[in-house]
């Protein structure tokens, strides 16, 4: 075993994983770490393209309103770069045709919008920014195989060239280690090797499965809307479909379901699932569209919230899906990853460096910004009887009943609809749904009201 870079480097930060969460974490650390090393198991394509290490990348992604606001705050000008690369801004209230569990959402004018593009376009725009930062270096085609340190303090990582199971293991010392390696993070087992007790975690598994395909958008087609979302309707209707505009005049279509109604593989399975959706509009729309890719399936696994803010050795921060992963149905993941990068930047700026105090503050900040998204997604997942884990009890049932009433009013009342969409866009907290301006029409069952 050899030591990479000699003795432990004062001011060195190592980021495990060079996906979106990892590159944003590296960007957040610039100016606060003398050297930032991103260890990525893949080799990046020269141009935006799907890569093996990101299987979820072939499915529908979007940046919620809060997400592209934070991304622009972190990287001024990146929103314009994404739009120039073909990303599409979709105002939710007027350009997303949304069939909720209670019916079609009310339409009105609002500036709240999401950005829609394929995952490679988003990742490439962020990656190019980070590559331009002189303090950041990338180790591509490299696996992290363990941690350096003890149960009390993490002092770096052990690395090896990818695919070389018997190859030389090198040590990469660091003052700060950030795990951004995603859903498949091996951090729990690495910490166990150091003698650390298990980190407290919450887990919920709705058994979600996806099947996705790209389509060429028919030329000259005027739908009166830009995107389409056919939501589940509870246990009796667990299937969903989303159609989003992406670069290259294409649509990305992701069909999904909860456990027990998974899309069958292949062309026949995809078509059958389209026909089983609650509304025929998506199937009819795609009937004249030319496919632009093969059909790809994906099973993301359970949602897990690991509480590193409660138990962690010094010198370690965990962000992105490695810290908290959600059911992808709610579109929260990449927005929460951006929140995590902002929390990391705030912590190291406030503490004036990347030491143990900054790491502890970052862990707390990252856990805090994931909380609302986790509560919303896990509470909704447990509506389905096949879901394992998740919250339960009288309070959750009361929340479900109230949210059902909110959704019913959101089909006719623009103000209630706007409040709900703000919460789902992560620009307002869930408590906004209990503001008197929302509570009164929901409980009275009124259908009027202007958007504030």
Domain contains 110: no
> In whole angstroms, what is the distance from residue 371 CA to residue 345 CA?
18
Q: Which of 242, 270, 298 is the last residue of a domain?
A: 298
Task: Looking at the structure, tell me whether residues 128 and 15 fall in a common domain.
Answer: yes
Proportion of the chain above pLDDT 70, given as a percent: 96
> Is the pLDDT reported for residue 446 higher than 70?
no
pLDDT of residue 437: 95
Residue 79 belongs to a domain? no
Question: What's the whole-number mean pLDDT along residues 311-315?
Answer: 97
Residue 47 lies in a domain: yes
CATH number for the domain that contains residue 139: 3.50.50.60
Q: Is the pLDDT of residue 268 over 90?
A: yes
- Domain assignment present for 413: yes
Question: Confidence band (pLDDT; 50, 70, 90) for 2?
Answer: very low
Give dist(CA 393, CA 36) in Å, integer. 45
Per-residue pLDDT of 158-206, as tens digits, reads 999 998 877 899 999 999 999 999 999 999 999 999 999 999 999 999 9
Query: Looking at residue 75, what DSSP letter applies?
Result: S
Q: Left, alpha or beta for 162 (phi > 0: left; psi -120 to 50: alpha)?
A: beta
Query: Which of 258-262, 303-307, 408-412 is predicted least confidently?
Result: 258-262
In a domain, 451, yes or no: no
Ordered alpha helix ranges (H), 289-332: none
On whether residue 76 sits in a domain, the answer given is: no
With 90 as the cut, is the pLDDT of residue 7 above it? no
Asked if pLDDT for residue 449 goes beyond 60, the answer is no
Q: What is the pLDDT of residue 369?
A: 97
- Sign of CA pseudo-dihedral 320, 425, 206, 388: positive
Residues 320 and 440 in one domain: no
Q: What is the mean pLDDT of residues 427-444?
A: 96
What is the reported pLDDT for 212? 95
The reply to whether 287 and 416 lie within a common domain is: no
Mean pLDDT of 313-325: 97
Closest among 204, 146, 200, 203 to 177, alpha carbons compared: 146
* Residue 150: C-alpha distances to residues 54, 81, 156, 197, 323 (Å): 31, 43, 10, 12, 20
Total domains in the chain come to 3
Please state, in angstroms and as integers, the Cα–Cα distance from residue 272 to each residue in 158, 206, 263, following that order: 47, 21, 8
Residue 147, strand partner residues: 157
430: containing domain = 388-444
Cβ burial 137-159 (10 Å sphere, 16+ → b, else e): ebbeebbbebbbbeeeebbbbbb
CA distance 289 to 378: 35
Q: State which of 337, 361, 379 marks the end of a domain.
A: 379
End-to-end CA separation in angstroms for the chain: 63
- Asked if 99 and 229 touch (Cβ cutoff 8 Å), the reply is yes
Query: Are residues 308 and 290 located together in one domain of the fold?
Result: no
pLDDT over 80 (residue 85): yes
Q: What is the pLDDT of residues 329-385, one digit of tens each?
A: 899 999 999 999 999 999 999 999 999 999 999 999 999 999 999 999 999 999 999
Round to whole Å and give the CA distance between 90 and 160. Answer: 43
- Do 312 and 194 have their domain in common? yes
**Model confidence pLDDT, tens digit, residues 87-137:** 999 999 999 999 999 999 999 999 999 999 999 999 999 999 999 999 999
Does a structural domain hold residue 118?
no
Same domain, 8 and 47: yes
- Establish how many alpha carbons lie within 13 A of residue 404's alpha carbon, considering only the half-sphere containing its beta carbon: 10
Question: Do residues 52 and 159 share a domain?
Answer: yes
* Least confident residue range of 9-13, 120-124, 229-233, 323-327: 9-13
pLDDT of residue 161: 94
Q: What pLDDT, on a 0 to 100 scale, did the predictor assign at position 399? A: 95
- Neighbouring C-beta atoms of residue 362, cutoff 10 Å: 31
Q: Would the pLDDT of 391 be above 70? A: yes
Pair of tokens at residue 116: 């829609």
State yes or no: pLDDT of 3 exceeds 50.
no
Q: Distance between CA 126 and CA 79 in Å, rounded?
A: 10
User: pLDDT tens-digit profile of 21-77?
Assistant: 999 999 999 999 999 999 999 999 989 888 888 888 889 999 999 999 999 999 999
Question: From CA 430, how far away is CA 424, in angstroms rounded?
Answer: 8
> At residue 445, does pLDDT exceed 80?
no
Q: Percent of the chain at pLDDT above 90?
A: 88
Split at pLDDT 50, 70, 90, the class of 234 is confident
- Using only C-alpha atoms, what is the Rg of the chain? 22
Specify the CATH number for the domain of residue 259. Answer: 3.30.70
- Domain annotation covers residue 105: no
Mean pLDDT over all residues of the chain? Answer: 93
Q: How confident is the model at residue 220 (pLDDT cuts 50, 70, 90)?
A: confident
Q: pLDDT class for 421, splitting at 50, 70, 90? A: very high
Split at pLDDT 50, 70, 90, the class of 18 is very high
Core vs surface per residue 373-389: b (16+ CB within 10 A) or e: bbebbbbbbbbbeebeb
Do 49 and 194 belong to one domain? yes
Predicted pLDDT at 167:
81
Same domain, 168 and 283: no
User: Do 198 and 336 meet the contact criterion of CB atoms below 8 Å apart?
Assistant: no
Contact 114, 425 (CB under 8 A): yes
* Residue 330, number of CB atoms within 10 A of its CB: 17
Give me the count of residues in the chain: 452
Strands (E) located in 235-389: 239-246, 250-257, 290-291, 296-298, 303-306, 316-318, 324-325, 388-389
Asked which of 355, 379, 403 is the last residue of a domain, the reply is 379
- According to the model, what pLDDT value does residue 165 have? 78
Query: Do 308 and 274 belong together in one domain?
Result: no
Same domain flag for 308 and 356:
yes
Q: Are residues 402 and 421 part of one domain?
A: yes
């Amino acid at each position: 075993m050899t030591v990479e870079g000699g003795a432990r480097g004062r001011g060195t930060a190592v980021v495990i994983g060079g996906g979106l969460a990892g590159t944003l974490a590296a960007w957040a650390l610039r100016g606060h770490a003398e050297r930032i090393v991103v260890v990525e198991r893949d080799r990046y394509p020269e141009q935006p393209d799907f890569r093996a290490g990101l299987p979820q990348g072939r499915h529908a992604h979007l940046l919620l309103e809060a997400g592209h606001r934070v991304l622009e705050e972190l990287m001024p000008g990146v929103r314009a770069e994404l739009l120039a690369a073909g990303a599409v801004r979709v105002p939710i209230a007027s350009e997303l045709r949304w069939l909720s569990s209670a019916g079609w959402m009310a339409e009105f004018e609002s500036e709240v919008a999401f950005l829609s593009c394929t995952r490679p376009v988003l990742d490439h725009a962020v990656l190019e920014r980070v590559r331009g930062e002189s303090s950041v270096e990338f180790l591509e085609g490299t696996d992290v195989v363990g941690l350096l340190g003890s149960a009390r303090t993490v002092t770096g990582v052990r690395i090896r060239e990818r695919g070389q199971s018997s190859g030389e293991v090198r040590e990469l010392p660091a003052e700060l280690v950030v795990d951004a390696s995603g859903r498949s993070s091996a951090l729990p087992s690495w910490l166990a090797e150091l003698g650390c007790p298990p980190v407290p975690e919450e887990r919920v598994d709705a058994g979600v499965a996806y099947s996705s395909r790209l389509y060429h958008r028919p030329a000259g087609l005027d739908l009166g809307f830009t995107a389409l979302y056919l939501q589940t309707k509870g246990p009796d209707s667990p299937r969903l479909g989303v159609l989003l505009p992406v670069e290259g005049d294409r649509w990305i279509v992701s069909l999904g379901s909860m456990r027990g109604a998974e899309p069958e593989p292949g062309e026949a399975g995809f078509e059958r699932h389209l026909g089983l959706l609650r509304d025929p509009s998506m199937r009819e729309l795609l009937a004249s569209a030319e496919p632009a890719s093969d059909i790809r399936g994906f099973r993301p696994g359970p949602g897990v919230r690991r509480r590193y803010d409660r138990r962690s050795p010094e010198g370690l921060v965990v962000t992105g899906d490695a810290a908290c992963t959600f059911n992808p149905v709610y579109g929260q993941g990449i927005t929460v990853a951006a929140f995590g990068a902002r929390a990391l930047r705030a912590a190291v700026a406030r503490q004036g460096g990347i030491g143990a105090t900054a790491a502890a503050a970052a862990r707390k900040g990252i856990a805090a910004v994931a909380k609302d998204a986790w509560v919303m997604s896990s509470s909704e997942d447990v509506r389905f009887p096949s879901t394992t884990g998740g919250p339960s009890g009288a309070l959750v049932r009361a929340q479900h009943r109230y949210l059902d009433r909110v959704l019913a009013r959101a089909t006719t009342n623009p103000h209630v609809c706007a409040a709900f969409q703000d919460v789902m866009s992560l620009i307002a907290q869930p408590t906004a749904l209990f503001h008197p301006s929302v509570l009164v029409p929901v409980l009275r069952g009124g259908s009027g009201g202007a958007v504030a």
